[in-house]
Structure 1
Amino acid sequence: MPLMIVIYIIAFIDRTNIGMAKSALEVDIGLTAAAYGLGAGLFFFAYSLLEVPSNLLMHKLGARFWIARIMITWGVLSMLMAVVWNEWSFYILRVLLGAAEAGLYPGMILYITYWFPRADRARAIGLFLLGVSLANIIGAPLGGALLQLDGLGGLHGWQWMFIIEGLPAVLLAFWVWFKLPDRPRQAKWLSDEDKQLLEEQLAAEDDGKGAQAHGFRALLPVAKDRILWLVIAVYFTHQVAVYSLSYFLPSMIAGFDPDMAPLTVGLITAIPWISAAIGSVLMPRLGTTIGRQKALVSGGLVAVAAGLLISVLSGHNLLLAVIGFVLAAFWFFVIQSMLFTFPGRRLSGMAVAAGIALINTVGLFGGFLGPTIMGSLETATGNPLAGLWFIIGLAVCGALLALGLKGSGRETAVAKN
């Protein structure tokens, strides 16, 4: 788990560091807020289209090889972001970066199903998602500091940021190749008895649904499952909120004081993500039953909407806006950790890989839609907070949809008994 968390910290920093560079890119290459939002979203367009084939390949080729391959390609392309010179180069590299990183998140969630029984998966996913919060806690102040290298060696500060923050992914990929076991039976730190006990426990929970499906046929059990499509819809609303804040929170913070230093912006931006980290550690352990998971998802989305409402109504009060962002962010990865337990509850074998990838594929169109709409509304109104109204409405819709979530037929029968 520590290695997985570190991998995702680096991935999320490289995915969202353009948020800290937004203002500098507007000045240096003439990028508008709308173009920035579109470029931020294009990452997810390419990422989502390739997620299902990526996860199927990881299930076939093994986590060690596939995750190392993803890390090398995304690290190189993240460093190449330093050469963007106009809107189209920005768009193209964001698409390529999304294609390179495609499959990392669903691959990691699939990997967790190889190691953790159902009762422990929500907590494990919550710990893994701690990487997102830590990435923003570390990445925002780090990005602010690197931006202050402007002029060093004839490069802009944002160029140094992309180069320095992209390199760790390439270096860590070699550690992953040598140290990450594909399955529990390959873990050197477990005894033979522990390996057998864990694999027997995981096998006992496997109801065989979708286990014999291979390739894209593994999508058939997923496509027929109404509850998984409901999970997808809820996840879509959640991702609009998460990525809108990931990409626009620094500029929203800076909008309260145009003279604020980049490092100060980064430090204030980190505060809501500290709250998100606390939530991802404390709350998922409560999601041990399907009823509790449903309550945490629905109630969490209501809290997200309430927090963003506080922020959008804060006027010129930065403290009040930050309090609202803190409340919303606290629930981000509580909700996400609950939603990704459902494929493992309802499917098995290759179908689990396909289900996880499909949920993330469709859900991540929210990562495309959210930043795109945020950028368009900021350009149209001149108000960086204007797009929050759209996110609030979607979060409420997601909370209502989450009330229909259910576990597997076996779990439902046990609950009734």
Structure 2
Amino acid sequence: MSKTASLRSPEVLNKVIFARLMPLLIAAYILAFLDRTNIGMAKERLEIDLGISATAFGVGAGLFFLTYALFEIPSNMIMHKVGARWWIMRIMITWGLISACMMFVQGEWSFYILRMLLGIAEAGLFPGVMYYLTKWFTNKDRARANGAFLLGVSIANIVGAPIGGILLTMDGVLGLHGWQWMFLIEGLPACFLAVAVWKFLPDGPRQAKFLSSEEAEWLEKTIAAEQEAGAAGSGNHKLLDIARDPQIILVVLVYFGHQLAVYALNFFLPSIIGGWGDLNSVQIGLLTAIPWVFSAVGAILLPRFATTASTSKKIALGTMIGIIVGFTIGALGGPVLGLIGFGLAAFNFFALQPILFTYPATRLTGVGLAAGLALVNTIGLFGGFLGPYIMGFMEDLTGSAVSGLWLIIGACVLGAFMIPFLKQGHESADRAQAIH
């Protein structure tokens, strides 16, 4: 569409933006999640080939999130300055190369170091995209856009586990272990997709060839009005206000419990399933994919209904309860019932997460919004560090792969009690929506 075309309706404009941006962003997150979690499929082989214990595996899995979290805010601040196109490309190339280098792991320390480097390389991708989407979607449509992006997690787990299982069968080809082939083959595609990001992802509405100049101007003014009204309503005018906002702190705590659950399942579901019987790597991969099919369904169905503050809170509470019930069934049930429970929990994972990230976006603006979204993800991701560690430690302590789930369930129960106290900061900003 030319830059001189007439202004289309908000509904049509939203569909056009969604179709142009989301496929590329989802593809990037599929590869990101695949490369950060594929070690779950390699867990048993790393233990056999390199002597890496369940506790050491949990530490290495979690160290990714430690360095990722520490570099989140600086990364988002840089993206705010240099633009999404260049910075996301840089993130993808460095994480792809480091993920491929996981094939050179020799023992616990090289495992730890490469996982930490991978966290540094990928830092800022998720909050960066969350910030990027605030430039394109209004409050009413943002939960749906966030949920679509998180489809990347579901798709990565649906296709990643079976593909990983198949790649593990390449053991001995050219003298390499199957897990070495898995890291190499799954790591390099991110470098190639980075070129597409550089070529096709516009930094903002004014750089988008598929919008007219009038449409770009209208979109930027509409979103700016919402954000300024929300920041005024919440009193967040300075960067330091973020850490003092009780609502931002509540979002962080709820998100922390959520991340404990997501990554506990990500890294340890293959070993839990492996303990259910005499299964080969391909069978384990296929069964591991099942709960993530449900997570994709939840991400598609539920966030689209979170169009008001009241509905968002109800869906958030219901989904956290669903995670708790699902993990409880998974911890108590056998192979069939347990898989149903994990499917229920996963169904709710990415219905809750996109809603949580709409709260900071209604209370912050500008560089504060970039930093605030990164702060939420930074502290929340410590759950990504602790979840695998708890699961690994409890497995070594008790001999049961599911024993750590009870601590995860407890954290999610605390998160559920906090959700009713969440408030969006755009009561006055809701009036701004009247302009569209």
Same fold by TM-score, threshold 0.5 exceeded? yes
Aligned CA distance change for structure 1 residues 141 and 413 (closer, same or farther; 3 Å): closer
Deviation per CA, 1:294-337, whole angstroms, max 9, x where unpaired? 111122111101011111111xx311110000100000011101
Tell me how far apart the structure 1 counterparts of residues 363 and 116 of structure 2 sit (CA, whole Å). 33
Tell me how far apart the structure 1 counterparts of residues 241 and 211 of structure 2 sit (CA, whole Å). 34
Tell me how far apart the structure 2 counterparts of residues 250 and 293 of structure 1 sit (CA, whole Å). 32
**Pairing 1:317-396 to 2, within 5 Å after superposition:** 317-396=334-413
- Equivalent residues, number: 406
Task: Please state if 1:232 is matched with 2:232.
Answer: no
Tell me how far apart the structure 2 counterparts of residues 412 and 301 of structure 1 sit (CA, whole Å). 27
Task: Please state if 1:26 is matched with 2:47.
Answer: yes
Deviation at 1:179, TM superposition (A): 1.3
Do the aligned residues in 2 keep the contact of 1:218 with 1:350 (CA within 8 Å)? Answer: no
Amino acid at match of 1:340: F
- CA RMSD across the alignment: 1.4
Deviation per CA, 1:218-245, whole angstroms, max 9, x where unpaired? 6312112110010000000000000000
Amino acid at match of 1:273: W
Q: 1:108 aligned to 119, 122, 129, which one?
A: 129
Aligned CA distance change for structure 1 residues 246 and 411 (closer, same or farther; 3 Å): farther
Amino acid at match of 1:72: I
Deviates more, 1:159-168 or 1:183-192: 183-192
Deviation per CA, 1:25-65, whole angstroms, max 9, x where unpaired? 00000000000000000000000000001001000110011
Deviation at 1:192, TM superposition (A): 2.3
Task: Please state if 1:130 is matched with 2:151.
Answer: yes
SS in 2 for 1:132: helix
User: What residue number does 2:62 align with?
Assistant: 41
User: What residue number does 2:318 align with?
Assistant: 299
Deviation per CA, 1:102-122, whole angstroms, max 9, x where unpaired? 000000100000100010000
Do the aligned residues in 2 keep the contact of 1:82 with 1:162 (CA within 8 Å)? Answer: yes
Amino acid at match of 2:316: V
Task: Please state if 1:139 is matched with 2:160.
Answer: yes
Deviates more, 1:271-280 or 1:177-186: 177-186
SS in 1 for 2:362: helix
Gaps of 5+ in 1: 212-216
Do the aligned residues in 1 keep the contact of 2:95 with 2:121 (CA within 8 Å)? Answer: yes
Deviation at 1:203, TM superposition (A): 2.1
Amino acid at match of 1:288: T
Do the aligned residues in 1 keep the contact of 2:71 with 2:124 (CA within 8 Å)? Answer: yes
**Pairing 1:152-191 to 2, within 5 Å after superposition:** 152-191=173-212
Do the aligned residues in 2 keep the contact of 1:80 with 1:163 (CA within 8 Å)? Answer: yes
Deviation per CA, 1:63-85, whole angstroms, max 9, x where unpaired? 01100000011001000000001
Do the aligned residues in 2 keep the contact of 1:210 with 1:218 (CA within 8 Å)? Answer: no
User: What residue number does 2:299 align with?
Assistant: 280
Q: Structure 1 length as normaliser, TM-score?
A: 0.95
Deviation at 1:181, TM superposition (A): 0.4
Amino acid at match of 1:227: Q
User: What residue number does 1:251 align with?
Assistant: 271
Do the aligned residues in 2 keep the contact of 1:31 with 1:87 (CA within 8 Å)? Answer: yes
Q: 1:221 aligned to 228, 241, 248, which one?
A: 241
Q: Structure 2 length as normaliser, TM-score?
A: 0.91
Do the aligned residues in 2 keep the contact of 1:208 with 1:347 (CA within 8 Å)? Answer: no
Task: Please state if 1:203 is matched with 2:203.
Answer: no
Tell me how far apart the structure 2 counterparts of residues 413 and 266 of structure 1 sit (CA, whole Å). 46
Aligned CA distance change for structure 1 residues 411 and 305 (closer, same or farther; 3 Å): farther
Do the aligned residues in 2 keep the contact of 1:300 with 1:334 (CA within 8 Å)? Answer: yes
Amino acid at match of 2:177: H
Amino acid at match of 1:389: W
Do the aligned residues in 1 keep the contact of 2:226 with 2:426 (CA within 8 Å)? Answer: no
Amino acid at match of 1:83: F
Tell me how far apart the structure 2 counterparts of residues 287 and 340 of structure 1 sit (CA, whole Å). 12
Tell me how far apart the structure 1 counterparts of residues 418 and 224 of structure 2 sit (CA, whole Å). 31
Aligned CA distance change for structure 1 residues 20 and 413 (closer, same or farther; 3 Å): closer
Do the aligned residues in 2 keep the contact of 1:208 with 1:349 (CA within 8 Å)? Answer: no
SS in 1 for 2:427: helix
User: What residue number does 1:88 align with?
Assistant: 109
Tell me how far apart the structure 2 counterparts of residues 206 and 141 of structure 1 sit (CA, whole Å). 42
Aligned CA distance change for structure 1 residues 209 and 309 (closer, same or farther; 3 Å): closer
Amino acid at match of 1:191: S
Tell me how far apart the structure 2 counterparts of residues 49 and 165 of structure 1 sit (CA, whole Å). 25
Do the aligned residues in 1 keep the contact of 2:231 with 2:362 (CA within 8 Å)? Answer: no
Task: Please state if 1:266 is matched with 2:290.
Answer: no
Do the aligned residues in 1 keep the contact of 2:229 with 2:426 (CA within 8 Å)? Answer: no
Amino acid at match of 1:46: T
Do the aligned residues in 2 keep the contact of 1:210 with 1:350 (CA within 8 Å)? Answer: no
Tell me how far apart the structure 2 counterparts of residues 244 and 362 of structure 1 sit (CA, whole Å). 17
Deviation at 1:202, TM superposition (A): 1.2
User: What residue number does 1:214 align with?
Assistant: none
Aligned CA distance change for structure 1 residues 176 and 218 (closer, same or farther; 3 Å): farther
Deviation at 1:205, TM superposition (A): 1.1
Deviation at 1:411, TM superposition (A): 4.6
Task: Please state if 1:64 is matched with 2:81.
Answer: no
Tell me how far apart the structure 2 counterparts of residues 4 and 247 of structure 1 sit (CA, whole Å). 23
Amino acid at match of 2:315: L
